[in-house]
Protein backbone atom coordinates (compact mmCIF):
# COMPACT_ATOMS: atom_id res chain seq x y z
CA UNK A 1 0.00 0.00 0.00
CA UNK A 2 1.72 3.13 -1.24
CA UNK A 3 1.35 6.76 -0.41
CA UNK A 4 -1.05 8.98 -2.28
CA UNK A 5 0.34 11.68 -4.65
CA UNK A 6 0.00 15.31 -3.68
CA UNK A 7 0.25 17.83 -6.53
CA UNK A 8 2.57 20.77 -5.89
CA UNK A 9 2.84 23.68 -8.38
CA UNK A 10 6.08 25.61 -8.92
CA UNK A 11 5.33 28.28 -11.49
CA UNK A 12 4.26 26.43 -14.60
CA UNK A 13 5.86 23.17 -13.50
CA UNK A 14 3.75 20.51 -11.86
CA UNK A 15 5.62 18.26 -9.47
CA UNK A 16 4.13 15.23 -7.79
CA UNK A 17 5.06 14.73 -4.15
CA UNK A 18 4.32 11.37 -2.55
CA UNK A 19 2.62 11.59 0.85
CA UNK A 20 3.25 8.48 2.92
CA UNK A 21 -0.01 7.07 4.22
CA UNK A 22 -1.41 3.99 5.90
CA UNK A 23 -4.83 2.41 6.18
CA UNK A 24 -5.64 2.72 9.86
CA UNK A 25 -8.44 0.80 11.55
CA UNK A 26 -8.25 2.54 14.93
CA UNK A 27 -5.94 4.37 17.30
CA UNK A 28 -6.76 4.18 20.99
CA UNK A 29 -5.32 4.46 24.49
CA UNK A 30 -5.77 1.63 26.99
CA UNK A 31 -3.94 -0.76 29.26
CA UNK A 32 -1.73 -3.26 27.52
CA UNK A 33 -3.61 -6.54 27.81
CA UNK A 34 -0.93 -8.99 26.70
CA UNK A 35 2.81 -9.64 26.59
CA UNK A 36 5.29 -8.82 29.35
CA UNK A 37 3.98 -5.25 29.11
CA UNK A 38 0.52 -6.27 30.40
CA UNK A 39 -0.99 -3.68 32.68
CA UNK A 40 0.98 -0.72 31.31
CA UNK A 41 -0.81 2.22 29.67
CA UNK A 42 -0.25 2.04 25.93
CA UNK A 43 -1.31 3.69 22.69
CA UNK A 44 -2.43 1.14 20.10
CA UNK A 45 -2.21 1.82 16.38
CA UNK A 46 -4.26 -0.87 14.67
CA UNK A 47 -3.64 -1.08 10.93
CA UNK A 48 -6.09 -2.45 8.38
CA UNK A 49 -5.57 -5.72 6.52
CA UNK A 50 -4.47 -9.25 7.31
CA UNK A 51 -3.12 -12.11 5.20
CA UNK A 52 -4.27 -14.76 7.71
CA UNK A 53 -7.67 -15.98 8.86
CA UNK A 54 -7.18 -17.56 12.29
CA UNK A 55 -10.20 -19.49 13.51
CA UNK A 56 -10.38 -17.57 16.79
CA UNK A 57 -9.53 -14.11 15.47
CA UNK A 58 -11.11 -11.42 17.66
CA UNK A 59 -10.26 -8.47 15.41
CA UNK A 60 -11.83 -9.54 12.11
CA UNK A 61 -13.20 -6.01 11.81
CA UNK A 62 -9.62 -4.95 10.97
CA UNK A 63 -9.54 -7.07 7.81
CA UNK A 64 -11.14 -4.34 5.71
CA UNK A 65 -12.35 -1.45 7.87
CA UNK A 66 -10.16 1.61 8.02
CA UNK A 67 -9.32 4.99 6.60
CA UNK A 68 -6.18 6.31 5.01
CA UNK A 69 -4.06 8.62 7.14
CA UNK A 70 -0.67 10.15 6.61
CA UNK A 71 2.20 9.18 8.90
CA UNK A 72 2.07 12.71 10.32
CA UNK A 73 -1.65 12.39 11.11
CA UNK A 74 -1.01 9.12 12.95
CA UNK A 75 1.81 10.74 14.91
CA UNK A 76 -0.37 13.69 15.87
CA UNK A 77 -2.98 11.39 17.36
CA UNK A 78 -0.37 9.31 19.18
CA UNK A 79 1.24 12.44 20.65
CA UNK A 80 -2.11 13.64 21.98
CA UNK A 81 -2.25 10.74 24.45
CA UNK A 82 1.10 11.69 26.03
CA UNK A 83 2.03 8.05 26.57
CA UNK A 84 5.59 6.75 25.99
CA UNK A 85 4.56 3.20 25.01
CA UNK A 86 3.12 2.50 21.54
CA UNK A 87 2.09 -0.79 19.99
CA UNK A 88 1.52 -1.21 16.26
CA UNK A 89 -0.83 -4.09 15.61
CA UNK A 90 -3.50 -5.29 13.21
CA UNK A 91 -4.55 -7.23 11.34
CA UNK A 92 -1.03 -7.71 10.10
CA UNK A 93 0.90 -4.43 10.33
CA UNK A 94 3.79 -5.62 8.16
CA UNK A 95 1.54 -5.75 5.10
CA UNK A 96 1.83 -1.98 4.76
CA UNK A 97 5.15 -0.61 3.56
CA UNK A 98 4.58 2.71 5.30
CA UNK A 99 4.75 1.01 8.69
CA UNK A 100 8.55 1.36 8.48
CA UNK A 101 8.69 5.16 8.23
CA UNK A 102 6.05 5.32 10.99
CA UNK A 103 8.25 3.18 13.23
CA UNK A 104 11.26 5.33 12.38
CA UNK A 105 9.46 8.51 13.37
CA UNK A 106 8.17 7.02 16.61
CA UNK A 107 11.66 5.90 17.60
CA UNK A 108 13.10 9.27 16.63
CA UNK A 109 10.61 10.95 18.97
CA UNK A 110 11.64 8.69 21.84
CA UNK A 111 8.71 6.29 22.01
CA UNK A 112 9.07 2.70 23.19
CA UNK A 113 7.68 0.75 20.24
CA UNK A 114 6.15 -2.72 20.17
CA UNK A 115 4.92 -4.47 17.04
CA UNK A 116 2.69 -7.53 17.08
CA UNK A 117 2.91 -9.64 13.95
CA UNK A 118 1.26 -12.88 12.89
CA UNK A 119 4.57 -14.58 12.16
CA UNK A 120 4.09 -15.22 8.44
CA UNK A 121 5.91 -12.14 7.07
CA UNK A 122 9.60 -11.28 7.18
CA UNK A 123 10.63 -9.34 10.31
CA UNK A 124 14.28 -8.82 9.33
CA UNK A 125 13.69 -5.20 8.25
CA UNK A 126 12.44 -4.10 11.65
CA UNK A 127 14.69 -1.79 13.65
CA UNK A 128 16.43 -3.66 16.47
CA UNK A 129 15.04 -1.16 18.97
CA UNK A 130 11.50 -2.34 18.25
CA UNK A 131 10.16 -5.08 20.52
CA UNK A 132 8.83 -7.79 18.22
CA UNK A 133 5.90 -9.86 19.49
CA UNK A 134 5.78 -12.83 17.15
CA UNK A 135 2.59 -14.90 17.17
CA UNK A 136 3.39 -18.46 16.09
CA UNK A 137 0.18 -20.08 14.88
CA UNK A 138 -0.82 -23.38 16.48
CA UNK A 139 -2.70 -26.05 14.48
CA UNK A 140 -6.03 -25.09 16.04
CA UNK A 141 -5.81 -21.69 14.35
CA UNK A 142 -5.86 -23.30 10.92
CA UNK A 143 -2.91 -21.10 9.95
CA UNK A 144 0.10 -23.09 11.18
CA UNK A 145 1.37 -23.86 7.63
CA UNK A 146 1.92 -20.10 7.21
CA UNK A 147 4.44 -19.79 10.06
CA UNK A 148 7.74 -18.36 8.82
CA UNK A 149 10.22 -19.98 11.17
CA UNK A 150 13.10 -18.17 9.49
CA UNK A 151 11.95 -15.16 11.54
CA UNK A 152 13.32 -16.81 14.67
CA UNK A 153 16.82 -15.84 13.51
CA UNK A 154 15.98 -12.17 13.97
CA UNK A 155 14.76 -12.31 17.56
CA UNK A 156 16.66 -11.43 20.71
CA UNK A 157 15.95 -11.41 24.43
CA UNK A 158 13.81 -8.29 24.36
CA UNK A 159 11.49 -9.91 21.82
CA UNK A 160 8.58 -12.20 22.58
CA UNK A 161 7.10 -15.33 21.03
CA UNK A 162 3.42 -15.94 21.65
CA UNK A 163 1.59 -19.25 21.37
CA UNK A 164 -2.20 -19.01 21.48
CA UNK A 165 -3.51 -22.48 22.32
CA UNK A 166 -7.04 -23.86 22.25
CA UNK A 167 -6.47 -27.36 23.63
CA UNK A 168 -3.92 -29.97 24.64
CA UNK A 169 -3.03 -30.68 21.01
CA UNK A 170 -2.05 -27.04 20.44
CA UNK A 171 -0.11 -27.04 23.70
CA UNK A 172 1.89 -30.15 22.79
CA UNK A 173 2.65 -28.68 19.36
CA UNK A 174 3.87 -25.43 20.94
CA UNK A 175 5.97 -27.31 23.47
CA UNK A 176 7.61 -29.30 20.68
CA UNK A 177 8.36 -26.18 18.61
CA UNK A 178 9.73 -24.49 21.70
CA UNK A 179 12.15 -27.37 22.32
CA UNK A 180 13.17 -27.96 18.69
CA UNK A 181 14.13 -24.32 18.18
CA UNK A 182 15.43 -23.57 21.70
CA UNK A 183 13.00 -20.65 21.85
CA UNK A 184 13.57 -19.86 25.52
CA UNK A 185 17.18 -19.03 24.63
CA UNK A 186 16.15 -16.70 21.80
CA UNK A 187 13.32 -14.66 23.29
CA UNK A 188 10.67 -14.55 25.99
CA UNK A 189 8.00 -17.21 25.44
CA UNK A 190 4.32 -16.60 26.20
CA UNK A 191 1.44 -19.08 26.32
CA UNK A 192 -2.06 -17.68 25.98
CA UNK A 193 -5.33 -19.65 26.18
CA UNK A 194 -8.01 -19.02 23.56
CA UNK A 195 -10.55 -16.90 25.41
CA UNK A 196 -13.71 -18.88 26.09
CA UNK A 197 -12.25 -22.20 24.92
CA UNK A 198 -9.41 -23.12 27.28
CA UNK A 199 -9.51 -22.11 30.94
CA UNK A 200 -6.33 -20.27 32.01
CA UNK A 201 -6.08 -22.48 35.09
CA UNK A 202 -5.84 -25.61 32.98
CA UNK A 203 -3.07 -24.14 30.86
CA UNK A 204 -1.31 -23.04 34.05
CA UNK A 205 -1.34 -26.62 35.35
CA UNK A 206 0.24 -27.88 32.10
CA UNK A 207 3.00 -25.26 32.24
CA UNK A 208 3.78 -26.08 35.86
CA UNK A 209 3.76 -29.84 35.30
CA UNK A 210 6.19 -29.53 32.39
CA UNK A 211 8.33 -26.88 34.11
CA UNK A 212 8.46 -24.82 30.94
CA UNK A 213 10.56 -21.68 30.83
CA UNK A 214 7.56 -19.68 29.65
CA UNK A 215 5.05 -17.14 30.90
CA UNK A 216 1.28 -17.63 31.14
CA UNK A 217 -0.62 -14.64 29.85
CA UNK A 218 -4.30 -13.87 29.66
CA UNK A 219 -5.98 -11.17 27.62
CA UNK A 220 -6.28 -8.78 30.54
CA UNK A 221 -8.53 -6.34 28.68
CA UNK A 222 -11.17 -9.06 28.20
CA UNK A 223 -11.42 -9.49 31.96
CA UNK A 224 -11.49 -5.77 32.71
CA UNK A 225 -14.05 -4.84 30.04
CA UNK A 226 -16.65 -6.46 27.80
CA UNK A 227 -14.70 -8.96 25.64
CA UNK A 228 -16.43 -7.72 22.49
CA UNK A 229 -15.70 -4.06 23.16
CA UNK A 230 -13.40 -2.27 20.74
CA UNK A 231 -10.78 0.27 21.67
CA UNK A 232 -9.64 -1.29 24.96
CB 33 within 8 A of CB 219: yes
pTM for the whole thing? 0.90
Is 130 within the bounds of a domain?
yes
Dihedral sign for Cα atoms in the order 147, 43, 200, 213: positive
Instruction: Provide the pLDDT for residue 230.
Output: 87
Is 13 within the bounds of a domain?
no
Return the CATH number at 152.
Answer: 3.20.20.70
Total domain count, the chain: 1
Instruction: Provide the pLDDT for residue 10.
Output: 47
Instruction: Provide the pLDDT for residue 1.
Output: 39
Is 8 within the bounds of a domain?
no
What does pLDDT average to in each consecutive run of 10 residues of the chain (232 residues)? 47 56 97 96 98 96 97 98 98 98 98 97 98 98 97 97 98 98 97 97 98 96 90 82
- Rounded to 10°, the helix 71-80/99-108 angle is 40
Is 9 within the bounds of a domain?
no
Instruction: Provide the pLDDT for residue 231.
Output: 84
Q: Distance between CA atoms of 29 and 43, rounded to whole angstroms?
A: 4
Instruction: Provide the pLDDT for residue 133.
Output: 98
Is 117 within the bounds of a domain?
yes
Is 83 within the bounds of a domain?
yes
Q: Is 35 left (phi over 0), alpha (psi -120 to 50) or beta?
A: left
Burial 140-149 (b: 16+ CB within 10 A, else e): bbebbebbee
DSSP 1-38: -PPEEEEEEETTEEEEEEEPEEEEEEEEEEE--SSTTT
Is 5 within the bounds of a domain?
no
Is 7 within the bounds of a domain?
no
Please give the residue range of the domain that contains residue 179.
18-224
Instruction: Provide the pLDDT for residue 139.
Output: 98
Among residues 122, 72, 71, the alpha carbon closest in space to that of 92 is found at: 122
Amino acid sequence: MRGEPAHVFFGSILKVKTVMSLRVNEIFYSLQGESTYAGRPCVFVRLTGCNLRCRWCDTAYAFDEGERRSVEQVLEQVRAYKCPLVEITGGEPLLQEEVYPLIGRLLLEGYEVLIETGGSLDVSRLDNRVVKILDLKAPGSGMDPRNNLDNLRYLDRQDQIKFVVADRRDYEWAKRVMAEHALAEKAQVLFSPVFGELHPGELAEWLLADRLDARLQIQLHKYLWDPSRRGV
